[in-house]
Structure 1
Amino acid sequence: MATLAKPQFPENSEAAFDHWSQGVPTLAEIAHIPGDGSWPIIGDTFNQLADPHGFTRARIEKYGKVYKTHAFGGWNVALIGADANELVLFNKDKIFSSEQGWGPVLDQLFPRGLMLMDFDHHRIDRRALSIAFKPGPMRHYSGALNSGIAREVAEWEGPMQFYPAIKKLTLDLAADSFLGIPWGPEADRINTAFVDMVQASVAPIRKPLPFTKMKKGVDGRAYMVEYLTRETERRRAEGGGQDMFSQFATATREDGSLLPVDQVVDHMSFLMMAAHDTITSSATSLIYYLAANPEWQEKVRAEITAVTGGPDANGNPRALDYDDLAKLELTEMAFKEALRMMPPVPSMPRRALKEFEYGGYRIPAGQLVGINIYWTHHSEEYWDNPYTFDPMRFTPDKVKARHKYAWVPFGGGAHMCLGLHFAYMQVKVLLAQVLQRYRIEVAQGYAPDWQAWPIPQPKDGLKVAFVKV
């Protein structure tokens, strides 16, 4: 069996990506796994970027649920289906490294974020950071979300492109709830940095050469490191606050020690990226599916009205109380179905730390592997009429009867998304403000074309109309 050394990576170095080639099996060692690389050198990189879901379907039809592809500078073995999701995400035997799976994609942009940690290191930091998602801080975020969303949504009447509007709102909310800074130019600069960093994560050119997406992403990270370092030190000196960043800055490990400043910076940078872009994507898909399925929009509106009491005497929507979040059961089911239809993270990479067998194939230590969440969410093996929007799939009895890993938009196992309850809260507050004010409409037959990677978004910005109810 091959042994796998765990390399150390120089931050933001052009050599960082090259380190991930250490210990990777040769093509001869994975020759028994079906698949090909299509083109010399670049392999399937551009094919995957152009149509990742079509590419996956074609590969499964040709090779089955275990196959190899050559893209982004190396060979990857795809493990497809709910059983594969469970094997990789639950990771019972500690076969898979999340750090070394995401590393080739994120190490120059979001190194040492919680998702790029494994085992004890991940557990210790996750426990320290979880303080930011306890009921006290969550109540504070709830208030900030209600006031911030109400202020912005009040201006949404009429036709609009929803995606850029919700992206701006989500960043402003993150600046308020996460960083505790006022809306304005500083928040706009942070937004630009994060956009550049996320786009660079799947750039075909993996070195920060002049005028490339990777260079813009690395520059964006440099700005965020400088800003977050300065702010961490200030908040520690001033005793912190109720915003998420202050909670992180003053979080302690099991032995009572503060997290090192550079680790606070990396965790916060990663969390901002994950929350900002994934919530933007998932809120956009939910708004589209509610607009395209008006009967479900009405069901969700009726539930929200029953819980909040509806608009006040002046026609202004009532805020959604933190204690009422769990009462929005149909709303949560609709959100879960939107996450099934358009998962914000369509696939997840890992790296095998030791040899294992799956689907009748021996996969060597050091091999990059990946699961495909989008495919599983649309497979007839687990879902009837999988391309139809139907929130009733998430009634308790149907959830219980289904494979536990057939629906994994937030991942699973030890790396289950730490902020998933924040995501549910933000989307519920958003719908409470929107649906008490407006009916969401799209043109008949309208179906936006979605950019699938790195995080799904409608190419036309999602053309909707908000009509006063």
Structure 2
Amino acid sequence: MASLAEPKPAREADAFSPSHWSERISPEALEHIPGDAGLPIIGNTFRMLADPHGYARYMAETYGPVYKSRAFGMWNVMLIGADANELLLFDRDKIFSSEQGWGPVLDNLFPRGLMLMDFDHHRADRRALSIAFKPEPMRHYAGSLNRGIAETVKHWGGSEMRFYPAIKQLTLDLAAESFIGIPWGPEADHINRAFVDMVQASVAPIRRPLPFTAMKRGVDGRAFLVDYFTRETHRRRAEGGGQDMFSQFATATREDGGLLPVDEVVDHMNFLMMAAHDTITSSATSLVYLLAKHPAWQEKLRQEVVAVTGGPDASGNPRLLDYGDLGKLELTEMAFKEALRFIPPVPSLPRRALKSFEFGGYEIPAGTPCGINIHLVHHSEEHWPDPERFDPMRFTPDLVKERHKYAWVPFGGGAHMCLGLHFAYMQVKILMAQLLQRYSMEIEEGYEPKWQPWPIPKPRDGLK
């Protein structure tokens, strides 16, 4: 896709300046933008759900890098390309609201999480929460991840398995220990069940908590976790925090030295658990699938892991990956980055324009729900020659330097860059160190799992 001219800044005066995501912009305000209203009432909802990537590709090829579409009862304007990614993510003019963009999907279940904050409030809380990702707590998490992954992975071999449900359960269990600081067991299972219910409710078609619906289970799960994390925040503040992530959040302070309000700690913890376990489950599954499909690359990573760890010990048990050696797994990191390009765990990102702006030759008014399509840009031939080929060498320093900075954005960018991205790299490297020292990962010849592409990709059959 052709690079677009530098976008013009937002205008200060606008006829419609929304204060909440539920305030709708009129269709007349978007008449000048090309696009498709779809069918009466339902719009393009089912067409989009049936094949999100194919639909986005068709719309971009038909209407260009700026187009509108009506789905889920509202109009949305998509901005396609690396320049669009930069405009929306870097957001130098503070045009876009993340809170109002994510609100329709997450407001009932994960309100006031870090991703749903804007501007100064977001900056202050992000700075306070960043203490949980400093070297000392990260070293503690590495120890927990090493022990938990090693103990679980040793039981995986010997026969055909479905990888996705196995890694999903492992990431939930790891989150209980590393994030909350509680041992695996009944309490962790109850917490994990509540999180699973909340995540499923976030994409449920029925958006009200009616009896026996996914939304009702999700709202009930949130109530349980709010009560649990509220009690635990008070207890950990009284007794002194530990090294787990929740204790770090509970005792985090803002620039003025004051503790975060308890309800904000609770909301941040709820959101972090959701964001961390589902995205890492998706991306680890993508990497394992691609390495099984490309055994030559799998062997290159295995050799790197053995060179760094020393390989299995005299008893045949894989050695643990030291925290100080994480940076030495350069090829493993490049392969993970290529997996994130191939199947980004968050295929698209929503925002809402708080001020009008110009992009791609179109004036987009304040109040417009906007979005970028990460998956489409990650598969654009403009930035990725032969984009359907798996090639970790795309991420050598020289090639990264030559490429548009916003052509690869699996962790977002700008002020909302994923706070836990280094934790994600660490968890995947420790997982690969255990898997590659112990097993060969294989799939049957010709096997191509069908992926559920949205909202977070996963193989429909669990990945055999």
TM normalised by structure 2 equals 0.96
Match of 2:234 in 1: 233
Deviation at 1:125, TM superposition (A): 0.3
Match of 2:8 in 1: none
Deviation at 1:230, TM superposition (A): 1.4
Name the CA distance, whole Å, in 2 between partners of 1:318 and 1:424: 19
Name the CA distance, whole Å, in 2 between partners of 1:169 and 1:196: 17
Deviation track 1:186-227 (CA, whole Å, cap 9, x = no partner) reads 222222222222222222222222232222222221121111
Match of 1:134 in 2: 134
Shifted more, 50-59 versus 366-375: the winner is 50-59
What's the secondary structure of 2:440's corresponding residue? strand
Match of 1:313 in 2: 314
What's the secondary structure of 1:165's corresponding residue? helix
- The answer to whether the aligner puts 1:40 opposite 2:53 as a matched pair is no
Deviation track 1:3-54 (CA, whole Å, cap 9, x = no partner) reads 41424xxxxxxxxxxxx232x3200010111112212222112221121111
Match of 2:381 in 1: 380
Match of 2:353 in 1: 352
The residue identity in structure 2 corresponding to 1:250 is: T
Name the CA distance, whole Å, in 2 between partners of 1:186 and 1:452: 32
Name the CA distance, whole Å, in 1 between partners of 2:165 and 2:462: 6
The residue identity in structure 2 corresponding to 1:431 is: M
Match of 2:31 in 1: 31
**Retained in 2: the 8 A contact 1:201–1:454?**
no
Instruction: Give the 5 Å matches for 1:84-163.
Output: 84-157=84-157, 158-163=159-164
Name the CA distance, whole Å, in 2 between partners of 1:48 and 1:191: 30
**Retained in 1: the 8 A contact 2:18–2:366?**
no
Name the CA distance, whole Å, in 1 between partners of 2:47 and 2:228: 37
Match of 2:221 in 1: 220
- The answer to whether the aligner puts 1:294 opposite 2:307 as a matched pair is no
- The answer to whether the aligner puts 1:64 opposite 2:77 as a matched pair is no
Name the CA distance, whole Å, in 2 between partners of 1:386 and 1:316: 38
Name the CA distance, whole Å, in 2 between partners of 1:40 and 1:204: 18
What's the secondary structure of 1:75's corresponding residue? strand
**Retained in 2: the 8 A contact 1:72–1:204?**
no
Match of 2:444 in 1: 443
The residue identity in structure 2 corresponding to 1:436 is: Q
- The answer to whether the aligner puts 1:338 opposite 2:339 as a matched pair is yes
Match of 1:17 in 2: none
Shifted more, 396-405 versus 231-240: the winner is 231-240
The residue identity in structure 1 corresponding to 2:217 is: K
The residue identity in structure 2 corresponding to 1:360 is: G
Shifted more, 229-238 versus 86-95: the winner is 229-238
Distance 1:37 1:190, change over 3 A: farther
Structure 1: runs of 5 or more not aligned: 8-19, 464-469
**Retained in 1: the 8 A contact 2:356–2:366?**
yes
Deviation track 1:223-247 (CA, whole Å, cap 9, x = no partner) reads 2111111111111111110100000
Match of 2:205 in 1: 204
Name the CA distance, whole Å, in 2 between partners of 1:414 and 1:57: 28
Name the CA distance, whole Å, in 1 between partners of 2:393 and 2:185: 41
Name the CA distance, whole Å, in 1 between partners of 2:413 and 2:171: 25
The residue identity in structure 1 corresponding to 2:91 is: N
**Retained in 2: the 8 A contact 1:45–1:204?**
no
**Retained in 2: the 8 A contact 1:33–1:67?**
yes
What's the secondary structure of 1:427's corresponding residue? helix
Name the CA distance, whole Å, in 1 between partners of 2:303 and 2:278: 29
Name the CA distance, whole Å, in 2 between partners of 1:317 and 1:279: 22
Match of 2:11 in 1: none
The residue identity in structure 2 corresponding to 1:382 is: H
The residue identity in structure 1 corresponding to 2:193 is: T
Name the CA distance, whole Å, in 1 between partners of 2:175 and 2:149: 11
**Retained in 2: the 8 A contact 1:2–1:354?**
no
Name the CA distance, whole Å, in 1 between partners of 2:174 and 2:93: 39
**Retained in 2: the 8 A contact 1:251–1:258?**
yes
What's the secondary structure of 1:393's corresponding residue? helix
Deviation at 1:95, TM superposition (A): 0.6
What's the secondary structure of 1:160's corresponding residue? coil
Deviation track 1:438-464 (CA, whole Å, cap 9, x = no partner) reads 11011011111111112111000000x
Shifted more, 209-218 versus 120-129: the winner is 209-218
Match of 1:13 in 2: none
Deviation track 1:262-296 (CA, whole Å, cap 9, x = no partner) reads 00000001000111000000000000000000000
The residue identity in structure 2 corresponding to 1:112 is: R
Name the CA distance, whole Å, in 2 between partners of 1:21 and 1:100: 8
Deviation track 1:161-197 (CA, whole Å, cap 9, x = no partner) reads 0000000000000000000011112222222222222
TM normalised by structure 1 equals 0.94
Match of 1:75 in 2: 75
Name the CA distance, whole Å, in 2 between partners of 1:336 and 1:220: 33
What's the secondary structure of 1:259's corresponding residue? coil
**Retained in 1: the 8 A contact 2:145–2:430?**
yes
Match of 2:6 in 1: none
**Retained in 2: the 8 A contact 1:232–1:249?**
yes
Name the CA distance, whole Å, in 2 between partners of 1:75 and 1:185: 44
Deviation at 1:404, TM superposition (A): 0.5
What's the secondary structure of 1:159's corresponding residue? coil
Match of 2:5 in 1: none
Name the CA distance, whole Å, in 2 between partners of 1:399 and 1:356: 30
**Retained in 1: the 8 A contact 2:22–2:104?**
no
- The answer to whether the aligner puts 1:191 opposite 2:192 as a matched pair is yes
How many residue pairs get aligned? The number is 450
Give the alignment's Cα RMSD to 1 decimal: 1.0
Match of 2:17 in 1: 4
Name the CA distance, whole Å, in 2 between partners of 1:336 and 1:233: 39
Name the CA distance, whole Å, in 2 between partners of 1:185 and 1:44: 43
